[in-house]
Structure 1
Amino acid sequence: MKLYRCARMEGIAGLELREEPDLPSPGPHQVLMKVNASSLNFRELLFMNGALGDSLRPDFIPASDGAGTVVAVGSRVRRVKPGDRVVATFYDNWTGGTIPQHADTLGRGAIVEGMLRDRALLSEEELVTIPDHLSDEEAATLPCAALTAWNALCLHAPLLPGQSVVVQGTGGVSIFALQLARFFGARVIATSSSDAKLARLAALGADATINYRDTPQWADAVLEFTGGQGADLIVEVGGAATFAQSVAAARKGGRISVVGMLTGAPSPGDGFFMRGLSIAPIHVGSRQDFEAMNRAIDFHRLKPVIDSTFPFADVPDALRHLESQRHFGKIVIRHG
């Protein structure tokens, strides 16, 4: 079978396309999955650049997100059958409830082998079925970014109609958060440094947009849009560089869901405590969370925003496009 391995922690240059022996037949509770599509997240670049030091073993297969078709099942598999269209969960051992103590918080595509391969042998517990209206390419965008956005919105408290949500930038999590927040009847305020991207966010349903390059103190604009109250929820993806503005933009007693630390770990600061805010770190989610989100996606017929699709042979080019940060939405790999 064909796959990519990170042979050296040298970024994209360390990635190698290889041909390896076929996988064995499934064990009693295992499923052999043909991977038809995968999608990329910024974490792939961090891992391949060695940002986690010795935490990753050499020769890992990157990418947490993959969708495809069940080829064969073990004798005791009951959840899926050959021919079913399925997508793999981000974690291999988190079915429901709170995250298990033994869970690998790095998820699939790190210690657990990722989805940049044409076959995967998985436990039946690691799979969810794909909503009928989605293609494999669209379904491959869901395991990390979409589920992170879903839980950022509603895991720790319900998001209610009329409440306001701030989303930052145009990466996968933020765009999914915008789309999903509309399901709840929430008002969405979106930020970006590009007026062209802000126009696209407005077309997706953002009620207000802010160019944070033109308005560095963008919390003031959020307060203006919310009649001086502040936002009920901030979906925080930036980390240290944006957290102070997130605190200032939130209403008293509001929430900040931290889903990314692109500029380092945030420090709460005095305003966080004085204003009674709550912080909720989001670790993607469980299989049951994924299934709940898929029911909502199916009901509302949500279509993920795909920036571009690359053939399997061109994964390095896809990663360079991700690295450029010019994308709007998800970058997808079509296998075969």
Structure 2
Amino acid sequence: MKSYHVTGAGTGSAGLTLREHAVPEPGPGQVLVRMRANAVSFRDALILADDYPLPVVPDVVAGCEGAGEVVALGPAVRTFGLGDRVALTVFPDWLDGPFGLDRAAQLGSSLDGALTEYRVVAEQALVRIPGHLSYEEATALPLTALTAWNALTGGRPLLPGETVLTLGTGAVSLAAVQLALLAGVRVIATTSGGPKAVRLKELGAHEVIDRTAEPDWHQRVRELTGGRGVEQVVHVAGPLDQSLRSAGIGAELAYVGYRVGAAPVAPPVDARLLFASGVQVRSVAVGSRAQFTALNRALEVHGVRPVLDRVFPFAQAPEAFRYQQEGGAFGRVVISHG
């Protein structure tokens, strides 16, 4: 079997090294998964740039998102059977409840990842994938789609008729648009305009604001909501001030991230603005296995498919990483094992 390892942190996709190993055997409570697809994320780019905030062990197998087929069972496995289609959880120890440091071990950084042909996984660290999705589509779920699901459902209840604000066209934001629509809410999305604005409307966003044409875009959000502001913001990047000004009193801001391009530090938040906004700010980092299961149930019931931009073969994984790092993708960049 072959695996891609992170051997040159700080060198980008050139830091991926392909190696051969013996196919592992599952132990008690474990299954052997024949990986069929992987997704590439901004998180992977940070690890390869040696800019990830959490520990990365030397020579770790890359990638935190993967989907595949169960091909062997260890003793005492009760949840899965041969041939089951599964996805790996990014945080294998986070089964349910709130996140904590005792659950922080994660694939592709502190633990060997999913960019490999075979992977032994504890049965508790797997979920079944929706039946209507291909492996390539399912591998888009474990990181970004689950983060969007947690952002929308993990805190304040989202009610039909409310309004959600999403920022940009990154993978989390696109998933948030799709998932928010399932809840019967109105979606306002921001973007830099042009073709991406058209794509957002096609995806179902009710209103799209061009941040380039309207740099004070929070004012437009207020206009679109009759001055009330939105009930929920999925904040994925950039300063918080306009997101806070877009939200109504009692709203929730799911704080997914702040990175924009090469800016490594988030600008400070005016404490007076934060207090006066009346907004609850909740940090979001992916989600638990229980939340992943709930996400898959919702996708299957509604027949929703994640947005894919481009699929690369396993042999061209470094090219997939380079393509993702260029930043022009609309949807997920995926690696298929064929």
Question: What is the TM-score when the length of structure 1 is the normalising length?
Answer: 0.96
Question: Do the aligned residues in 1 keep the contact of 2:35 with 2:68 (CA within 8 Å)?
Answer: yes
Question: What displacement does 1:261 show?
Answer: 2.4
Structure-2 residue corresponding to 1:331 = 333
CA distance in structure 2 between the partners assigned to 1:53 and 1:145 by the alignment: 18
May I ask how many residue pairs the two structures share in their alignment? 332
Q: Does 1:313 align with 2:315?
A: yes
1:14 to partner: Cα distance: 1.2
1:1-336 aligned within 5 A: 1-9=1-9, 10-23=11-24, 25-52=25-52, 55-104=55-104, 107-238=106-237, 241-263=238-260, 264-265=265-266, 267-269=268-270, 270-336=272-338
Judging changes above 3 Å, is the alpha-carbon distance between structure 1 residues 305 and 54 closer, same or farther for their aligned structure 2 residues? closer
Larger mean Cα displacement after TM superposition, 53-62 or 219-228: 53-62
Task: Name the SS for the 2:282 alignment partner.
Answer: strand
Q: Which amino acid aligns with 1:304?
A: P
Give the secondary structure class of the aligned counterpart of 1:248.
helix
The AA in structure 1 aligned to 2:324 is L
The answer to whether the 8 A contact 2:5-2:16 is kept is yes
In the TM superposition, what whole-angstrom CA distance separates every residue of 1:289-332 from its partner, at most 9, and x where no partner exists? 11111111110010111001000111111111111111001111
Partner secondary structure for residue 14 of structure 2 = coil
TM-aligned CA deviation for residue 262 of structure 1: 1.1
Judge conservation of contact 2:43–2:52 (CA < 8 Å) in 1: no
CA contact (8 A) 2:57 2:111 kept: no
Please give the alpha-carbon distance, in whole angstroms, between the structure 2 residues aligned to 1:52 and 1:259.
15
Which stretch shows the higher mean deviation, 128-137 or 91-100? 91-100
Residue aligned with 1:137, SS? helix
Matched residue of 1:12: which SS?
helix
The superposition leaves residues 16-72 of structure 1 with CA deviations (integer Å, 9 ceiling, x where unpaired) of 11212221x211100000000010110000011101378212211121110010001
Q: CA deviation at 1:81?
A: 0.6
Q: Which amino acid aligns with 1:132?
A: G
Quick check: 2:70–2:82 contact (8 Å CA) kept in 1? yes
Identity of aligned residues (%): 41
In the aligned structure 1, how far is the partner of 2:244 from the partner of 2:41? 26
Q: 1:7, CA displacement in angstroms?
A: 0.7
The Cα of 1:266 is off from its aligned counterpart by 5.5
> Which stretches in structure 2 are left out of the alignment for 5+ residues?
none
- The secondary structure found in structure 2 opposite 1:314 is helix
What is the rounded CA distance, in whole Å, between the counterparts of 2:56 and 2:127 in structure 1? 27
Q: Tell me by how many angstroms 1:104 deviates.
A: 1.6
> Which amino acid in the other structure matches residue 214 of structure 2?
T
CA RMSD of aligned residues (A): 1.3
Separation in 1 of the partners of 2:102 and 2:290? 18
Counterpart CA distance in 2 for 1:321 and 1:211 is: 25
List structure 1 segments (4+ residues) > 3 angstroms apart after TM superposition: 263-268
Greater displacement, 111-120 / 96-105: 96-105
Gaps of 5+ in 1: none
Give the secondary structure class of the aligned counterpart of 2:98.
coil
1:213–1:126 Cα change, 3 Å = same
In structure 1, give the amino acid aligned to 2:314. F
Cα drift, residue 215 of structure 1: 1.3
Cα separation, 2, equivalents of 1:103 and 1:26: 22
* Letter aligned with residue 310 of structure 2: S
Deviates more, 1:301-310 or 1:14-23: 14-23
8 Å CA contact retained: 1:8, 1:58: no
- Supply the distance in 1 between the matched residues of 2:269 and 2:54 (Cα, whole angstroms): 29
